[in-house]
Structure 1
């Protein structure tokens, strides 16, 4: 078989195996990257032996690395980095250095590596997390705008930026021991000179070239120009001794400043995906499952050290930056995996003869294992935190937020004010509206960007967690006339409603729901009004259309009011599993709750929920009633209590104790 035909056959074989593996991984709800690795294993020397990682396949894999890092550079967001600069630059940098110190130190002192350069390189590999896996999980759960979501992304951005520095400096560690210092200084000087030249070229040269090509209105020329810039700069940095990956990343940063950056990324992404798939599958060609099984104990230990150690480091750093412990734990559990770009670093270490085949195999296996575990851990984080909160000694810590910082002249005896919890897009619009109407406002948020904006506007502001009892008490809720909760985190929203009403039971609370399933639960927790933005947008569009086609304003307003007063029930999409247990567990996650069994001697039996007056007497909320194996979620006040019912009560410990005194009999735990 000729060399050209052999390349085509091997390329199709690898891509076909990666496609099949990616499809299976997707159907199993795992990252497709793991499918690519498994596909590579299947056709590699450890599998059917159809392809060997050598020659042209390796070259194509290098192109995949270049395009992968080029796209990363284009997508790099300096704006997002500066918006949370304290936790991003301070916390992110500290996380990288601490992980290198811990991971590399353990490896060196346990004999896993025999030199400090190897230890530093291994620590750098462990320090990177998977931006793709974390971002995908946050988007799926609608948590990108949450406090912990923003902190995760801020640290990940710094990791991406740190990757460029590592690619420039770490290869110098392959020099002889007496030359490492000189090599590192030389690499830093080369990188500094190259970055200086790149900044100038990115400001004056690259934009002009791209504009000239854009004027031709030829898409092929535009794509070719972008590829030449990317690969040309990559080859130049390789010639300087800084590596192809470093040049590709910087090329992406240069293009990101051009007004056509999004279009360039759009054109490059399909090619990037193809060649990046080849790269990840080529790593699979190197993985030997037999070797990993022989070293299973070592591999499990490395995975545990990597995830637990990194998770502990991140948690401690985020908590040290005055974020609530719950947020810190969520971030620590969210980014404790090893990322896809660690493969790039491990490959550099192997090419520099810093990693032996055994160490490289263990590193790749550890990375793949943490990526496999990451989605499960991200999904189970709320459950894990809820279980941790059951521990008496930790429960207090999880409720503690840093002492709220008050901005603006606010008297301790402030009365008749409006509390707005959450200063995202919805919160900002609401605050502007209330401010221009002359109302007294206090905003609660833990965003640094919000802190700066509100300070400039002179609006009183509490820096802290809106679900914290300490912060809510500082907001003088008992003297407030209303509260609006616009938090992006569903769990924090439920906690804020529950705790605000436990402090001020008569408070008028308006809350934003994130998904359909939250509407009834928030009403049940005591909110006076629950607003679902998507439904409200639909109602406004429908009202506009009805007016245009001739309906009277009065009729249109009656229609809209009917849907609102009915809590959107008439326009909720039909959903067979809407009343399922899984959804109920999600709704009450993070809230203290207990099931109680009603017997004939209970004073509640024979009364309707409205007649029992449970909420007014105890502050607790009835979230569900189980009767004859049927569960009624969010029962109405007309529902009678019968002997044999099991009722789910939500409230803090004092409220649950008050409920138990009301019923006078011991509880029957679930």
Structure 2
């Protein structure tokens, strides 16, 4: 038995690596490679592995570790700050999605009964936590406003499906008691976890802090203990792992744990996606037709239940569309839910096969959608305006193109720009009224306006936005965003566009690679900022301080600089 599991794992990893290399060559997402590899070696492909359960148990470890690490990296304060948007949107998405799905699946099919249509509607209302989290993590978008809203909705979706599973046995004869019991279990899980993390874990971790390996083992023990306790309460293990990470995220050992767990997590997560690929059925015309119907209903319900709510909350086209795009796939828990429905005699084998194929189709489609969501937003945004859903007004709150207020334009607002504004407030406050920032993050816009900084809401890569903001009047234009942050654009492209709009302005741009600087200067840059050289100079100063036995003074100097800083983006 052990030999079989080891062989199956080896087969999965080799297949994932081979297909992954091919996908890398043809520039396709690795997630697609893992699903294709799983299908190829699974029971519906070449049949190297005929029992996916031998891998699925191992792969669930990766899912728990992935959600644990997401919890570790989650900023709970920011999540709570977006609480209203998350709660309202999640409630509308779940309730609206289930209602619309129930009506459409009962009317169009493939459900044969109203009860089966309800199962399908609940399944379609759930999104894949593991797919979304991995893609947003890879894109470094988990800590964006859209990312926080997406993750918050996913958490509430998990709570809903747990409550639904609690009442599932009595769906033919509904009762209030199972629902109250399930809700009580969720409260018990959160209460016990908070109590232990507040009063037990801090002294224990402090005791073993000088032995990093014990800190790592302790963190993993906490993750799986809470996941196990959630399972004991008949709740989601994944919810327990996520909660464990969130409650541990305030501890000073978080970064060390994340760094050491990453490689372990990647191994098990690879197995998870390969195992998902194994459940993809062979396509038939019947499957293809109903898969398209199911997928169309799911995507439509996401757009209809998420985007209008966020627009109503004043988040603009971008922040309203991104969560809807991110959530446009089917959850793994949906397949579990339908399997439970089948065991109860409420769901047919045909419906489960159609849903499994739709899961694979949407997993692939949503992967491309999330990776290219910026282009989708730019395409859809004008249509929303035409249908009576206008974007946040560009430059709302601004009057005219006052030269004094708009002398220094800052295109896009991220970490470097945040630190620059803080330095201006401390060292050159007279420059503050001359700043005009262009950015499309509503939270950033609100915080900057609270500080008295002139802000234009808009996408810096759009020529119309720049013209409307009055960039032709600019004296200095600063783009501190790296090419990896500029979605669908680059510093060179931005520079050429801005230079065409403002011939006399001094333009400062960012270069990650040293050999990019020459091309930027040739395109009209006044100055090219190279952060790696600034970091290298600071590192040399630190090395000199070490040699001169002045590292303590250097550290105190840095702490003094960091003290009491209150940046827009901490």
Q: TM-score, normalised on structure 2? A: 0.73
Counterpart among 404, 408, 424 of residue 416 in structure 1: 404
- 2: distance between equivalents of 1:451 and 1:237? 40
- The answer on 1:261 being equivalent to 2:257 is no
Q: Tell me the CA shift for residue 394 of structure 1.
A: 6.8
Q: Tell me the CA shift for residue 289 of structure 1.
A: 1.3
Counterpart among 363, 380, 389 of residue 371 in structure 1: 363
Q: Tell me the CA shift for residue 78 of structure 1.
A: 1.9
- 2: distance between equivalents of 1:412 and 1:37? 53
Q: What secondary structure does 1:406 align onto?
A: coil
- The answer on 1:343 being equivalent to 2:343 is no
Counterpart among 444, 469, 480 of residue 450 in structure 1: 444
- The answer on 1:283 being equivalent to 2:276 is yes
- The answer on 1:78 being equivalent to 2:76 is yes
Q: What secondary structure does 2:176 align onto?
A: helix
Q: Greater relative contact order (Cα 8 A, min sep 6): structure 1 or 2?
A: 2
Equivalences for 1:391-406 in 2 at 5 Å?
Answer: 401-402=392-393, 404-406=395-397
Structure 2 unaligned spans of 5+: 541-570
- The answer on 1:187 being equivalent to 2:182 is yes
- The answer on 1:196 being equivalent to 2:191 is yes
Could you say if the C-alpha distance between residues 39 and 477 of structure 1 is closer, same or farther in structure 2, counting changes exceeding 3 Å? Answer: closer
Q: What secondary structure does 1:46 align onto?
A: coil
Q: Which residue of 1 aligns with 2:223?
A: 230
Q: Given that residues 23 and 33 in structure 2 are in contact (C-alpha distance below 8 angstroms), is that contact kept between their aligned partners in structure 1? A: yes
Could you say if the C-alpha distance between residues 485 and 166 of structure 1 is closer, same or farther in structure 2, counting changes exceeding 3 Å? Answer: same
Q: Which residue of 2 aligns with 1:650?
A: none
- 1: distance between equivalents of 2:279 and 2:488? 43
Q: Given that residues 104 and 123 in structure 1 are in contact (C-alpha distance below 8 angstroms), is that contact kept between their aligned partners in structure 2? A: no
Q: Given that residues 448 and 454 in structure 2 are in contact (C-alpha distance below 8 angstroms), is that contact kept between their aligned partners in structure 1? A: yes
Q: Tell me the CA shift for residue 191 of structure 1.
A: 0.5
- 1: distance between equivalents of 2:381 and 2:517? 25
CA distances 1:557-605 after superposition (whole Å, capped 9, x unpaired): xxxxxxxxxxxxxxxxxxxxxxxxxxxxxxxxxxxxxxxxxxxxxxxxx
- 2: distance between equivalents of 1:15 and 1:473? 52
Q: What secondary structure does 1:510 align onto?
A: strand
**RMSD, aligned CA:** 4.6
Q: Given that residues 126 and 338 in structure 1 are in contact (C-alpha distance below 8 angstroms), is that contact kept between their aligned partners in structure 2? A: yes
Q: Tell me the CA shift for residue 50 of structure 1.
A: 4.2
Equivalences for 1:526-565 in 2 at 5 Å?
Answer: 529-534=525-530, 537-538=532-533
Structure (1 or 2) with the larger CA radius of gyration = 1
Q: Tell me the CA shift for residue 187 of structure 1.
A: 0.5
Could you say if the C-alpha distance between residues 446 and 158 of structure 1 is closer, same or farther in structure 2, counting changes exceeding 3 Å? Answer: same
Q: Which residue of 1 aligns with 2:565?
A: none
- The answer on 1:121 being equivalent to 2:115 is no
Counterpart among 230, 240, 252 of residue 247 in structure 1: 240
CA distances 1:629-648 after superposition (whole Å, capped 9, x unpaired): xxxxxxxxxxxxxxxxxxxx
Could you say if the C-alpha distance between residues 102 and 264 of structure 1 is closer, same or farther in structure 2, counting changes exceeding 3 Å? Answer: farther
- The answer on 1:295 being equivalent to 2:287 is yes
- The answer on 1:510 being equivalent to 2:507 is yes
Q: Tell me the CA shift for residue 83 of structure 1.
A: 5.8
Aligned pair count reads 522
Q: TM-score, normalised on structure 1? A: 0.64
Structure 1 unaligned spans of 5+: 546-670
Counterpart among 163, 166, 169 of residue 169 in structure 1: 163
- The answer on 1:155 being equivalent to 2:149 is yes
Q: What secondary structure does 2:51 align onto?
A: coil
Equivalences for 1:447-596 in 2 at 5 Å?
Answer: 447-463=441-457, 481-486=475-480, 489=486, 508-513=505-510, 529-534=525-530, 537-538=532-533
